[in-house]
Copies of this chain bind each other. A is one copy, B any other.
Amino acid sequence: VASSITVHDVAKAAGVSASTVSRALSGNAAVAATTRNRVVEVARQLGYQPNLAARGLITGTTHNIGLVVPDLENPYFASITKSVQSRALASGYSVFIADSDEDTRTELELVHQLSKQVDGLILCSPRMSTSDIAGIAGQTMMVLINREWEGLASVVIDDAEIVRLALEHLHALGHRKVAYVGGPETSWSNQKRWAAIERFAPTFDDLEVSKVGSYAPNFDGGQSAADVVLASGATAAFAYNDLVGLGLLARLNTRGVRVPEDLSVMGIDDVNVATLVSPGLTTVRSPLKKVGRFAVNKLIDLMSPTDRPSSTEDLPVQLVVRQSTSVPPQRR
């Protein structure tokens, strides 16, 4: 771990007491400028590294945070993870990262493991039950991403607005029968999105949106769903996320169904890979980097409250039209 040179070694070498060394290096207490310089210099020469375990033992703080995500290989979570770590680094925090592999039990286990060695936790799109979340919240500072519960701090993307933008786009193109390819039942976002669909669909003239089931939120899930979507008679598929959308594109391509001529396809998130395919995937962009930053900001504010109101910027979503959507066949 660290080198074995302690405050006492520095103290002896600098001709002062251990407490003075501690104060000089902490910087927050009153120390004569000359002694401080001397101590700092000696510490540097000796290569002194404070023992964080000892410090944590007495301060009760670790300067570590934990992040739990369902799947690191999902570019959506990779982006959030990257921004979380980046923002944490800027504030001197190290971050534990844990991948639950979309499994509720693993997720809970990881949370328990981490909660013992962090000052706070960020749970990204947690799949666990609300009662489990409540249990953890009682023990550890916590910020939720893409989930809300009671008074807990959280950062959520506006699922309703995402849905509204998507339906508006498809309806404007002339689509009247749309198939929603659902994500995991345990996904809070999935529930919110379907709820928003049921709320908004009636507001568009003659629009009918059906749900074609619940699929894994990745490429494979999309492939599995494609045939059902086709059979549904819809002219447009609205996928739970971009990966599902890409899976749809792949399977449709295999079956010889042309996109967008025969069927339009939309995703959600505008994950990096959405631009890689052709036709490019029409989608609604989520500000993932911002989500990660905000979550860390909120957590830090929770852990060491300041007076300045934590900036209440919002998280704008935005329609990104590419080639995978167009006018439905009947209208051609």
Contact of A250 among B116, B140, B276 (CB under 8 A): B276
Pair A1/B116 contact, Cβ less than 8 Å? yes
Rounded to whole angstroms, the CA-CA distance of A49 and B250 in the bound complex is 49
Say if the beta carbon of A110 comes within 8 Å of chain B. Answer: yes
Say if the beta carbon of A62 comes within 8 Å of chain B. Answer: yes
User: Which chain B positions have C-beta within 8 A of A110?
Assistant: 89
Pair A79/B73 contact, Cβ less than 8 Å? yes
| Shortest Cβ distance from A92 into B: residue | B113
User: Which chain B positions have C-beta within 8 A of A1?
Assistant: 56, 60-62, 115-119, 140
Given known contacts A75-B73, A99-B85, A119-B1, is B94 in contact with A276 (CB within 8 Å)? no
User: Which chain B positions have C-beta within 8 A of A226?
Assistant: none
User: Which chain B positions have C-beta within 8 A of A98?
Assistant: 85, 89, 94-95
User: Which chain B positions have C-beta within 8 A of A54?
Assistant: 53, 57
Specify how many copies of this chain sit in the oligomer: 2
Interface size on A, residues (CB 8 A): 55
Say if the beta carbon of A2 comes within 8 Å of chain B. Answer: yes
Name the interface residues of A91-141: CB closer than 8 Å to any CB of B.
94-99, 101, 106, 109-110, 113-119, 139-140
A227 nearest CB across to chain B (Å): 19
Pair B82/A72 contact, Cβ less than 8 Å? yes
Contact of A272 among B73, B85, B109, B113 (CB under 8 A): B73
Say if the beta carbon of A31 comes within 8 Å of chain B. Answer: no
| Shortest Cβ distance from A3 into B: residue | B139
User: Which chain B positions have C-beta within 8 A of A75?
Assistant: 73, 75, 78
Rounded to whole angstroms, the CA-CA distance of A2 and B53 in the bound complex is 14
Given known contacts A62-B53, A81-B72, A94-B117, is B276 in contact with A278 (CB within 8 Å)? no
A203 nearest CB across to chain B (Å): 34
Say if the beta carbon of A253 comes within 8 Å of chain B. Answer: yes
Say if the beta carbon of A294 comes within 8 Å of chain B. Answer: no
A28 nearest CB across to chain B (Å): 20
Rounded to whole angstroms, the CA-CA distance of A278 and B72 in the bound complex is 25
User: Which chain B positions have C-beta within 8 A of A106?
Assistant: 89
Say if the beta carbon of A194 comes within 8 Å of chain B. Answer: no
User: Which chain B positions have C-beta within 8 A of A115?
Assistant: 1-2
Q: What are 15 A-B contacts defined by CB distance under 8 Å?
A: A1-B118, A1-B140, A2-B116, A3-B139, A53-B57, A71-B82, A72-B78, A72-B82, A89-B106, A89-B113, A96-B97, A246-B276, A253-B278, A273-B276, A278-B278
Which A residues have a C-beta under 8 Å from some C-beta of B?
Answer: 1-3, 49-54, 56-57, 60-62, 64, 71-73, 75, 78-79, 81-82, 85-86, 89, 94-99, 101, 106, 109-110, 113-119, 139-140, 219, 246, 250, 253, 272-273, 275-278
Extra contacts besides A89-B109, A97-B97 (5): CB < 8 Å: A1-B117, A53-B53, A75-B78, A89-B106, A94-B113
Smallest CB-CB A-B distances: 7 pairs: A97-B97, A53-B56, A53-B57, A72-B82, A53-B53, A78-B78, A273-B273
